[in-house]
């Protein structure tokens, strides 16, 4: 038994527990594949306990240890893929995991034939290339092309080593580990390359982790060789773990900030954020001597929608309306949910009343179209009020009052006509 692995098992186990605890409390759709990766790291260290056992059990422990460490990097990397929910991403994941496992098995079997080694090495290219070819029209992102190209290069290099007269020194560099962890580092840089402590620590730790597979073998096989304790080479793992926990906490802070300024149902700005943006829009209009329009839209008879079709349909109706309004407006404009069934819109300057009226008519014609929500077809009616700064009011509160007054005049006119 390799009792020296006990401290690493303990440290990795506590880190996995801490990571799981933070993940469960995060309140955000968390990167649970990172947790899978850390559990695989624990499995890697557990397998090292038995790696010194003779014959079959020692080989099995070596296969499990090698595969778990490779799979951990693959799961870390897969979490960063933007399109990981697509089937093509799952197929890519399966092809890489399979190549890792098969190559680890044949590499640790003493009497494996060269043909078997070649075929297991070729899996690193065959699987990813096949998936990319079949899904090229759907996804051909640069990060995927880089990953597939790297695995193809790894496959060719491994096949070369299978036929190299004395491959032991080159094999000491563990090219499959080097490529996998370098790719993981590149993925993290591409997705989390922002100036925060969690991001910087995680990315730095990832590159250090990848460099271990070059530096450690080099120091062990090139004179003057000298011994460095295993704990030194394991240090990057713990740096990455700390960085990932910090990233989770940073995501929690961002999520809380989002909830403080956004409507939870629709994702639109809430009243607090809207008032801030309206105040800034008024100030810009004042400085430039132009106008800014405030539109207030109220959904008529929304209670009857909830009573007739249920609150789930009512919520879906609000989300659908919010999407329609966002799609109709310019990027410089703002739409917010400022009440239960009330939406407010800022049309940034320069804007004239005639133009504001045209935008209002366009918005109403869009949202008044019947909306299919599951088995229900809902046709909503709306009341709208418009107020312009500085023509109708000179301050934020008065502008709100003017728009609100005009909206209720519109609502009264509709009710009277009915």
Please check the confidence at residue 205 and state whether its pLDDT lies above 60: yes
Q: 371-373 and 334-337: which strand pairing? A: unpaired
Is residue 266 situated within a structural domain? no
Same domain, 120 and 257: yes
Q: In this structure, are residues 115 and 162 in contact, taking their beta carbons and an 8 Å threshold? A: no
pLDDT number for residue 29: 55
Segment 390-404, tens digit of pLDDT: 888 888 889 989 988
Q: Are residues 306 and 407 in the same domain?
A: yes
Query: 263 to each of 270, 317, 407, how far by Cα in Å?
Result: 5, 15, 22
Structural tokens at position 92: 């890519």
Contact 243, 205 (CB under 8 A): yes
Domain boundary, last residue among 238, 261, 284: 261
Residues 72 and 36: their CA atoms lie apart, in Å, by 7
What's the rounded Cα separation, in Å, for the pair 144 and 81?
Answer: 9
Residue 130 lies in a domain: yes
C-alpha span between 405 and 386 (Å, rounded)? 9
Phi, psi dihedral angles at 292 (to 5 degrees): -130, 140
Summarize pLDDT for 15-42 with one digit per residue, the tens.
888 878 877 665 555 688 898 999 999 9
> Which of 203, 204, 228, 202 minimizes the C-alpha distance to 215?
228
pLDDT of residue 155: 94
Q: Residue 360: what pLDDT?
A: 86
* pLDDT tens-digit readout, 150-163: 999 999 999 988 88
Q: What are phi and psi of 376, to 5 degrees?
A: -110, 145
User: Do 219 and 299 have their domain in common?
Assistant: no
- What does 14-71 look like in DSSP terms, one character per residue? HHHHHHHHHHHHS-S---HHHHHHHHHHHHHHHHHTTTTS-HHHHHHHHHHHHHHHHH
What CA–CA distance (Å, rounded) separates 265 from 336?
12
Stretch (H or E) spanning 243 = helix 230-261
- Residue ending a domain, choose from 261, 285, 309: 261
Is 286 contained in some domain? yes
- pLDDT for residue 418: 53
pLDDT at 342 over 80: yes
Asked if residue 246 lies in contact with residue 311, where contact means CB atoms within 8 angstroms, the answer is no
Mean pLDDT of the residues in the chain: 85
Domain CATH for 352: 3.30.70.270
More confident: 226 or 119: 119
Q: Name the nearest CA neighbour of 338 among 317, 358, 322, 316.
A: 322
pTM: 0.73
**Segment 68-100, tens digit of pLDDT:** 999 999 999 998 888 888 899 999 999 999 999
pLDDT at position 145: 93
- Looking at the structure, tell me whether residues 199 and 305 fall in a common domain: no
The backbone torsions φ and ψ at residue 408, rounded to the nearest 5 degrees and listed phi first, read -75, -25
The pLDDT, as a whole number, for residue 28 is 52
**Percent of the chain at pLDDT above 90?**
30
Same-domain pairing of 279 and 224: no
Asked if 300 contacts 382 with a C-beta cutoff of 8 angstroms, the reply is yes
| Contacts of 169 by beta carbon, 8 Å cutoff, 6+ apart | 221
Q: Which domain holds residue 301?
A: 271-417
* pLDDT of amino acid 130: 95
Written as six digits, the tokens of 153 are 């290069």
Same domain, 234 and 294: no
225 DSSP assignment? P
Q: Is residue 69 part of a domain?
A: yes
pLDDT of amino acid 54: 81
Mean pLDDT, rounded, for 104-124: 87
User: Who contacts 214 (Cβ-Cβ below 8 Å, separation ≥6)?
Assistant: 173, 178
Residue 170 predicted with pLDDT over 60: no
pLDDT digits (tens, 9 = 90+) for 306-328: 777 788 888 888 888 888 888 88
What does each C-alpha distance from 97 to 35, 66, 116, 151, 187 come to in angstroms? Answer: 17, 12, 18, 12, 17
The least confident of 2-16, 41-55, 182-196, 321-335 is: 2-16
Shared domain for 367 and 241, answered yes or no, is no
Map tokens 């659908």 to a residue: 320
Q: Based on the domain organization, do 278 and 254 belong to the same domain?
A: no
Work out the percent of the chain whose per-residue pLDDT is above 70. 92
Q: Does residue 42 come out as left (phi exceeding 0), alpha (psi in the -120 to 50 range) or beta?
A: alpha
Same domain, 316 and 194: no
pLDDT the model gives residue 276:
92
Each residue of 237-268: pLDDT tens digit? 889 988 988 888 888 888 788 778 888 888 89
- Is the pLDDT confidence value at 333 over 70? yes
Token duo for residue 370? 């019947």
Residues 206/181, Cβ–Cβ less than 8 Å: yes
Kindly report the number of other CB atoms within 10 A of residue 140's CB atom: 11
Angle at alpha carbon of residue 53, lines to 51 and 55, rounded to 5°: 105
> Contact, 373 vs 313, CB < 8 A?
yes
User: Taking 90 as the threshold, does the pLDDT of residue 124 lie above it?
Assistant: yes
Which residues contact residue 179 at a Cβ distance below 8 angstroms, ignoring those fewer than 6 apart? 150, 151, 153, 154
Burial 381-409 (b: 16+ CB within 10 A, else e): ebbbbbbbbbebbeebeebbebbbebbee
- How much is the average pLDDT of 381-397? 88
Asked if 241 and 288 sit in the same domain, the reply is no
pLDDT computed for residue 27 by the predictor: 52
Mean pLDDT of 330-349: 88
Residue 29: CB partners within 8 Å, gap ≥ 6? none
pLDDT at site 110: 67
In the predicted model, what is the mean pLDDT of residues 174-199? 90
Residue-level pLDDT at 413: 61
| Total domains in the fold of the chain | 2
């Amino acid at each position: 038994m390799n009792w020296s692995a006990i401290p690493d098992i303990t440290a990795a186990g506590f880190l996995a527990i801490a990571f799981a605890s933070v993940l469960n409390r995060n309140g955000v759709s968390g990167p649970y594949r990172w947790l899978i990766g850390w559990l695989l790291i624990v499995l890697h260290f557990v397998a090292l306990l038995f790696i010194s056992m003779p014959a079959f059990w020692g080989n099995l422990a070596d296969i499990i240890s090698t595969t778990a460490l490779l799979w951990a990097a693959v799961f870390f990397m897969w979490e960063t893929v933007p399109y990981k929910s697509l089937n093509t991403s799952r197929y890519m994941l399966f092809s890489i995991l399979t190549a890792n496992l098969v190559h680890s098995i044949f590499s640790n079997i003493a009497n494996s034939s060269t043909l078997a080694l070649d075929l297991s090495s070729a899996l690193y290219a065959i699987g990813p290339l096949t998936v990319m070819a079949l899904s090229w029209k759907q996804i051909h992102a640069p990060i995927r092309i880089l990953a597939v190209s790297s695995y193809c290069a790894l496959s060719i290099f491994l096949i070369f080593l299978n036929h190299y007269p004395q491959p032991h020194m080159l094999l000491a560099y563990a090219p499959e580990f080097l490529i996998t962890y370098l790719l993981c580092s590149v993925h993290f840089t591409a997705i989390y390359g922002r100036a925060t402590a969690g991001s910087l620590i995680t990315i730095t730790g990832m590159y250090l982790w990848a460099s271990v597979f070059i530096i450690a073998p080099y120091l062990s096989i090139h004179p003057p060789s000298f011994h460095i304790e295993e704990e030194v080479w394991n240090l990057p793992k713990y740096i990455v773990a700390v960085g990932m926990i910090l990233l989770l906490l940073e995501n929690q802070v961002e999520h809380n900030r989002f909830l403080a300024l956004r409507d939870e149902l629709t994702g639109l700005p809430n009243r607090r954020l809207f008032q801030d943006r309206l105040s800034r829009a008024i100030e810009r209009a004042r400085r430039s001597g132009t106008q800014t329009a405030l539109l207030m839209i109220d959904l008529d008879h929304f209670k009857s929608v909830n009573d007739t079709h249920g609150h789930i349909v009512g919520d879906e109706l609000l989300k659908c309306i919010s999407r329609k309004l966002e799609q109709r407006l310019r990027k410089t404009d703002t739409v917010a949910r400022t009440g239960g069934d009330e939406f407010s819109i800022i049309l940034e300057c320069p804007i004239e009343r005639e133009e504001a009226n045209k935008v209002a008519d366009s918005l109403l014609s869009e949202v008044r179209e019947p909306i299919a929500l599951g088995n229900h077809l809902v046709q909503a009616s709306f009341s709208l009020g418009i107020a312009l700064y500085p023509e109708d009011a000179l301050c934020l509160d008065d502008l709100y009052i003017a728009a609100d007054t005009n909206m209720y005049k519109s609502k009264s006119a509709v009710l009277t006509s009915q």
